Amino acid sequence: MPSLRPRIKIPTITTWLAIAAAAFGVATLFALPCDAQDLEPRAYSSSPTGTNFFIGTYGRSTGSVVFDPSLRIEDVEAGINGTAIGYGRTFSLFGRQALISGAIPYSWGDISGTVQEQATTIRRSGLGDVRVKLSVNLLNGEALSLREFVKRPPKTVVGTSLTVSVPTGQYDPAKLINLGSNRWAFKPEVGVSHPIGKWYLDGYAGVWFFSDNRDVFPGGARRHQAPVLSMQGHVSYTFRPRLWAAFNSTWYVGGASRVNDGVAKGSFNNARLGATVSFPLGGKQSLKVLYSNGVRATAGSDFQTIAVAYQIAWFDRQK
């Protein structure tokens, strides 16, 4: 049914995969979930059930790091490369459209700085923490087949999701900088996607919760981190089917952490802006390019990021 394909909207998780892959290399160092920095337009837009997609991403992040002055770590600069592969699928969950997706990241890069007045450079490479995400569209989120989906006009969608970070990444408690975080993290979120002609307006609000890392540098210590509130806003415009561009923003706050019974420090009040462009590559493929930059960083990373994501999608055979 080639006449139906131009109207189909494919789930757009590629942006959060690219950013997660680009940032994983410094997740443990900053005790910050990389998804707090995500810029993911159209995350809750509707799609037909039985949509499958495979994704490959590459991203590079460069910039500075803001540390607690008491640590005597200064002038820190990082250049992190990241790749990820992921798979996703839409399905019916109690009559609502649901999306399950996951990604496995690999990162490498260099971090340099001054530690107690001594210049130091280190390099890390290896697997990062796996991310899994389940989202369900609630308002106007009925599970529709491909034939049913193309007959319904776009509507405002309200959805919810849960992202889980699994501590599978490379980790050594004797090292200050690791690729894995050695803890679980969970992010419940609520999102709204509102179409206006060729425009889409998106807004999301979520909170990251963390288990304790019970074995942090220099080994044997325990780190506890407070929750992080994360909010996103996006405005996108569709030039033609599957060719669109978006302006993105995110803000996250909280996340002060303490080691053992020490004083909690390092609370975030950070913001980022960015843009995404999606290009169609034939009937089933697409390429997304994203750029983002920090506009405010009170703690953690202040990175400039560019990422690309390739996606191929296919539909289940219709009965």
3-state secondary structure of 40: coil
Kindly report whether the global pTM for this prediction surpasses the value 0.85: yes
Q: Domain coordinates of the chain in residue numbers?
A: 5-315
How far apart, in Å, do the first and last CA atoms of the chain sit? 13
Architecture of domain 5-315: Beta Barrel (2.40)
* pLDDT of amino acid 1: 37
The tens digit of pLDDT for each residue in 270-283 reads: 999 999 999 999 87
Report residues of the chain scoring pLDDT below 70: 1-37, 67-73, 318-319
Q: Which of 172, 291, 287, 271 is nearest to 230 (CA)?
A: 271
| pLDDT tens, position by position, 141-170 | 999 998 899 899 999 999 999 999 999 999
For the chain, give the mean pLDDT: 84
Q: Amino acid identity, residue 32?
A: L
Q: Are 29 and 111 in contact (CB under 8 A)?
A: yes
3-state secondary structure of 219: coil
User: Is 92 in a helix, a strand, or coil?
Assistant: strand
pLDDT value, residue 244: 96
pLDDT at residue 29 in the model: 44
Give pLDDT, residue 247: 97
| Residue 298: DSSP 8-state | S
Two tokens, residue 227: 């929750």
